[in-house]
Structure 1
């Protein structure tokens, strides 16, 4: 019997990484301070981008958790670790040595005599930059092994049964936001830092919770189906959370009446509501409507990983020159979007995809590898990165 391919994971993974790409394309124009910034910025752009920051990576970590569980059901622990070494650790090292340095070069171009000089100074600093996401995945994948064992234990099975019962209620899975809120607000009290480093536990444990939520919800077909079944009610929660988010975002100045620490806690509260409800909505509607993976999506799902590794360096390099144009933000941003898209697609399709050594260095499977149950295992392996 042919096992199911979770096509919703293919669609969501490609969609969300493209959303990360769009976010970085518009970063030079939102006034936040990035590697390369335009002389003028758009407040409206910043107001929109801050909202979508609450959705993308949380759901990607969730999908990685789902994929990890599916893969661990198919292969043993040793094979899983070897797989992740080749598909995560090797691309991370290559990215830090070869892909990331040009970003620092263009950001601090006056500090170097040339791009070669920049590589001499930067290539062995092993700065992850936008590849911090892969750093987190490496750690999370290792933690997935004992967590999977825990789910397989009697205590773990009892926990999943309780989760199944909770999922029967239309508000059940959304109610888990209370756990997410408790973790995030509690950790932010202890560690308010915002940097995306693995030792900043207020960030790493928060994303780990989404990763493990993916493993838990995929542990039971009943729970996974309930996400799709309750998508309408979760959409209402998502709309409610969005109204709260922007209500707080555009609130009048209350600094005279509310301490800074309390204001930050309220901010994390509305952000977390958007993150959790948005996750349930995205997964629910994708599960309900995206039941097939067309041929073009198979290719896109394969190449989206090297696309992610390459995209920010391509954007920074092109943006360095584009922001110097005498043109409007709309013209510059659209030019950057089209230019970066074209360069990344060409590199992925005509350099990475057909050449064996580049396939390996960018985390793609060898064309010669044939897996048993390839449909299901392919979906799991792709989703887990």
Structure 2
């Protein structure tokens, strides 16, 4: 089969769906790990679960930015930059405002409630939350009071990166043509070097904040990944090479992950601290982190390109599952963390065995997202607020024609 980037890439649709599904499981896991702060915490924590979550932690969001940039580059072949700007603005900024004023409020409420910082009463709390001059929880204020985007930080970052890429699209498209003769190895080394420099010079000075304006390490990491994804999508030869060498990328990624876990569990403590803190030691760590990061991303791109680039497969014989996921992914993303926090708070009070609690939390979160999407998609206002096409789809042409008679 001839490799082409001209047709619809079903592998990107599937990979985006799987990445956001993984994000839901990751945020459920955040409830059960002790070392990482989150809105509320279970009384049962697991070190093993935390080690497993470290598997995806370094590259999970980078993969989503990479795929989003690839989709933008491919879409620009069919649409003008101005049209794409309007489309992304409408489908990102409106849901962001909806999320900040409505969806994420229970997360802030239950977090403050679990820390005994407020009295019960959600409506009263919401009025304080939307008031930028509120005196409630002053130590948690931002420049706009208690208002926050919490897990929706990805949306403003994606919008900003998309705008910058669209503004620079003539340069990027010209650069993409010049890069066609560049060996993929050189491109990979350049991407790794960029990530190593960001980690070496910015990680400690600018720890992750997700606040957009001062998050320079994350910008250096995610924006470079975004630009790499944009350029990569336009290089059919690189894409084909990644599919061919997917096993080697997976092997490199697993090796680097093993080293990271070994270090975390003290198996590398015999290395002298003086060497670990030296320039050479830090550069070696940077190489491991960069290879782990890009190894997983390219391995998944490769496996998806090999096995998922078709409209149907054994799990989705008529394509209906992928169609549902493509439409439901943004509402599910907006709703999932709030549902996790709410259901976790309710289940915690029942003091269930942790295995039963975890299964129930996963089931309730998925059921809540499904019900939420089923409600959202039925009304034009909720569709607009959650980033869906406002025009309702015609389910049955015969039924639609009878309505107009």
Q: TM-score range by the shorter chain?
A: 0.7 to 0.9
Distance in 2 (alpha carbons) for counterparts of 1:255 and 1:35:
36
**Within 5 A, what are the aligned runs for 1:174-323?**
174-188=188-202, 191-198=205-212, 199-250=214-265, 251-253=267-269, 257-258=273-274, 269-293=287-311, 294-323=319-348
Deviations 1:116-173 (A, max 9, x none): 01111113543110000101101101111133211233x5532x1243xx12xxx555
**Within 5 A, what are the aligned runs for 1:27-106?**
27-31=30-34, 32-106=36-110
Aligned length: 361
**Within 5 A, what are the aligned runs for 1:121-140?**
121-124=128-131, 125-140=146-161
Q: Please identify, of 246-255 and 290-299, the stretch whose mean Cα deviation from structure 2 is larger.
A: 246-255
Q: Please identify, of 70-79 and 177-186, the stretch whose mean Cα deviation from structure 2 is larger.
A: 177-186
Q: 1:161 aligned to 2:177?
A: no
Query: Does the CA contact (< 8 Å) of 1:102 and 1:118 recur in 2?
Result: no
Distance in 2 (alpha carbons) for counterparts of 1:78 and 1:104:
36
Deviations 1:303-330 (A, max 9, x none): 0111000100010011012123323222
Distance in 2 (alpha carbons) for counterparts of 1:269 and 1:324:
45
- The 1:108–1:189 alpha-carbon spacing in structure 2 relative to 1, beyond 3 Å, is closer
**TM-score (norm. length: structure 1):** 0.86
Distance in 2 (alpha carbons) for counterparts of 1:3 and 1:145:
19
Query: Does the CA contact (< 8 Å) of 1:242 and 1:274 recur in 2?
Result: yes
1:189 Cα offset (Å)? 5.5
Match of 2:383 in 1: 359
Q: What secondary structure, in the 3-state scheme, does the structure 2 residue paired with 1:364 have?
A: coil
Distance in 1 (alpha carbons) for counterparts of 2:59 and 2:204:
24
- The 1:162–1:258 alpha-carbon spacing in structure 2 relative to 1, beyond 3 Å, is farther
Q: What secondary structure, in the 3-state scheme, does the structure 1 residue paired with 2:343 have?
A: helix
- The 1:260–1:356 alpha-carbon spacing in structure 2 relative to 1, beyond 3 Å, is farther
1:233 Cα offset (Å)? 2.2
Deviations 1:87-130 (A, max 9, x none): 00000011000011110100112414411011111135431100
- Could you tell me which runs of 5 or more consecutive residues in structure 2 were left unpaired when the two chains were aligned: 132-145, 312-318, 395-405
Query: Does the CA contact (< 8 Å) of 1:174 and 1:277 recur in 2?
Result: no
1:62 Cα offset (Å)? 0.1
Deviations 1:239-290 (A, max 9, x none): 2222222232223546972488658776554333221100000000100111
Deviations 1:184-213 (A, max 9, x none): 223335624122232211112201111111
Could you say which structure has the higher helix fraction?
A: 1
- Could you tell me which runs of 5 or more consecutive residues in structure 1 were left unpaired when the two chains were aligned: 371-385
Q: 1:343 aligns with which of 365, 368, 373?
A: 368
Distance in 2 (alpha carbons) for counterparts of 1:269 and 1:334:
38
1:17 Cα offset (Å)? 0.4
Q: 2:9 aligns with which of 3, 6, 9?
A: 6
Q: What secondary structure, in the 3-state scheme, does the structure 1 residue paired with 2:42 have?
A: coil
Distance in 2 (alpha carbons) for counterparts of 1:323 and 1:74:
50
Larger C-alpha radius of gyration, 1 or 2? 2
Distance in 1 (alpha carbons) for counterparts of 2:24 and 2:289:
21
Q: What secondary structure, in the 3-state scheme, does the structure 2 residue paired with 1:29 have?
A: coil
Q: 1:120 aligned to 2:117?
A: no
Distance in 2 (alpha carbons) for counterparts of 1:303 and 1:363:
10
